Amino acid sequence: MCALDNRPSPPATSLLPEPAPPRRRRGRVLRRLLVVALAGGVAAGGTLMLRPREPHRAAPDPAAGPRAQAAAQAAALAAAQTAVVNGLPAALPDLTTLIGAREARVRAQPRDAGAWAVLGAAYVERARRSADTGDYPRAERALQTSLKVAGRNNTEALSGLARLAVARRDFPAAKQFGEEALKTAPKRWSAYPVLIDAYDGLGDYKAARSALDKMTALKVGADVKPAVMARASAVYRDRGWREDAVAQVTDAAAAARTPAEQAAYLCQAGQLAWERGDREDALQHFTAAVRLDPEQSAARAGQGRALAALGRTQEALTAYQGSLAHRPTPQVALELAELYESLGMGRQAESQYGLLRTQVRQELEAGVDDDLVIGQYEADHGDAQEAVRRLTAEWERQPGIEVADALGWALHRAGDDKEALRYAEVATDSTKGGGVRSALYAFHRGMVERDLDLEAPARRHLQDALRTNPYFSPLQAPAARATLTALGNQPPNEELPQ
């Protein structure tokens, strides 16, 4: 995100044409053990020496007899189905196998509502893992078929539709389906995570906290406890409770039962480390996640961020390219394009912006709400007025913190700093909704205040951005330092007020 002055953006080609504190947990010792294990595994260049509480399943032995192979395959298929039904991370090959089996089942038994629901949920998870946007319409058809066959008391289909809505960033629909699913099975924990996501996306943080409290009060088995802890960690992160977030996700990674699940939680821990500016710790977590699950594209992108911050530029570019090869998403394409731009590699940057445009169109065709990423792109690299228009509509529909920050920045780029400050305050002031510690949000607010001649608040927020994460953006972190230098690190000597 490159141009950082307060002038309105010049006319440019638009991305798209006009659209037709809780109690501290007892996790410190385990957390230290996990960090030591991560450091040891990464430093040795070998396998991460962190063992889940149950052995991971081995692949079927080709030398085994047909009966043994069939039993192993059946066990793997059952485990994948359990993961999908419960909303747990699943390995991409297992998802593909499960989808094939359930497609065969519904062809043979088209009135099997349970098979349709599992198939739809598996499509959602595979799309999330692979960015195959064609899986979203497939998922919707399968889940709606399950509802048609079994009626509205179909918890599995309703839960699947709620997850599909979250994946598409359709938080009103996620709330509707999630609340319906919860009514049919109020003791089922898997209804709560999607509701928390929906409430967060709608800016209803009181409801999100209430859903978290109800979820954590449930008695759940050891197989889903790690997922509950990981979800709690995400809520704590959004509220600015960093230590609690780290403790929860560290415990979740230690208790995970499959490589895919453990990799997902290590990736989440890596993102927490990155957000607090700990490049080395973030890289260790992301690298461990990729070793456990090579299809973990979010961890590959995390490696790219951390490596770029460490000055290991070529490795960073390779990591980003690997992430996009596994899962080409608009957000990662935008990150890589901005890294290229920061390195003066304009041709490569434009190529990535082109990939972003292509991916956005594909997602829109699959029903994904991409107005947030479109607005982020347009504000800095396209038409700021288009960004304001899209993000204003997005805010009216689902007013979450991410949208508040993006809309505030778009208004700033369009020259309306007074209105921009109102949204920047929402994103950064815990009394108005924003509790997450975000260097980017603090930077945006500081730049808006700078252009409103609010020098003391601008200085404070720019300093906070660089304290939170000095490497938060290859384009904007240098701009934050330059602006802070221009403002002066100390406020001017002024007479104290009477």
Query: For residue 201, which of 238, 230, 229, 232 has the smallest C-alpha distance?
Result: 238
Q: Which residue has the tokens 């149950």?
A: 54
Does residue 480 lie in a domain region? yes
Are residues 393 and 480 located together in one domain of the fold? yes
Does residue 317 lie in a domain region? yes
DSSP conformation letters of 304-346: HHHHHHTT-HHHHHHHHHHHHHH---HHHHHHHHHHHHHTT-H
Among 323, 350, 376, the domain-final residue is: 323
Q: How far is CA 71 from CA 60, 65, 159, in A?
A: 9, 10, 29
Does residue 469 lie in a domain region? yes
Does residue 162 lie in a domain region? no
pLDDT for position 488: 87
**Number of Cα atoms under 13 Å in the Cβ half of residue 315:** 12
pLDDT for position 226: 95
Return the CA Rg of the chain. 23
The count of structural domains within the chain is 2
pLDDT for position 24: 43
Helix (H, G, I), strand (E, B) or coil at 240: coil
Could you count the other beta carbons within 10 Å of the beta carbon of residue 429? 12
- Asked if 359 contacts 343 with a C-beta cutoff of 8 angstroms, the reply is no
Among 281, 298, 323, the domain-final residue is: 323
- Asked if 303 contacts 287 with a C-beta cutoff of 8 angstroms, the reply is yes
- The per-residue pLDDT string of the chain (498 residues; one tens digit each, 9 = 90 and over) reads 443 343 333 333 344 434 334 444 434 433 443 443 444 343 333 333 343 333 344 445 555 567 776 777 777 788 889 899 888 999 999 999 999 999 999 999 999 999 999 999 999 999 999 888 999 999 999 999 999 999 889 999 999 999 999 999 999 999 999 999 999 999 899 889 999 999 999 999 899 999 999 999 999 999 999 999 999 999 999 989 999 999 999 999 999 999 999 999 999 999 999 999 999 999 999 999 999 999 999 999 999 999 999 999 999 999 999 999 999 999 999 999 999 999 999 999 999 999 999 999 999 999 999 999 999 999 999 999 999 999 999 999 999 999 999 999 999 999 999 999 999 999 998 877 668 999 999 999 999 999 999 999 999 999 999 999 999 999 999 999 999 999 986 654 445 444
Does residue 3 lie in a domain region? no
Distance separating alpha carbons of residues 170 and 468, to the nearest angstrom: 30
Does residue 416 lie in a domain region? yes
CATH number at residue 405: 1.25.40.10
Distance separating alpha carbons of residues 317 and 230, to the nearest angstrom: 29
Does residue 415 lie in a domain region? yes
Are residues 316 and 234 located together in one domain of the fold? yes
- pTM of the predicted protein model: 0.85
Among 293, 323, 353, the domain-final residue is: 323
Are residues 300 and 395 located together in one domain of the fold? no
Query: For residue 371, which of 206, 201, 203 has the smallest C-alpha distance?
Result: 201
Does residue 411 lie in a domain region? yes
Sign of the dihedral through C-alpha 116, 120, 126, 129: negative
Are residues 408 and 317 located together in one domain of the fold? no
Could you list the residue range(s) of the whole structural domain that residue 411 is in?
385-487
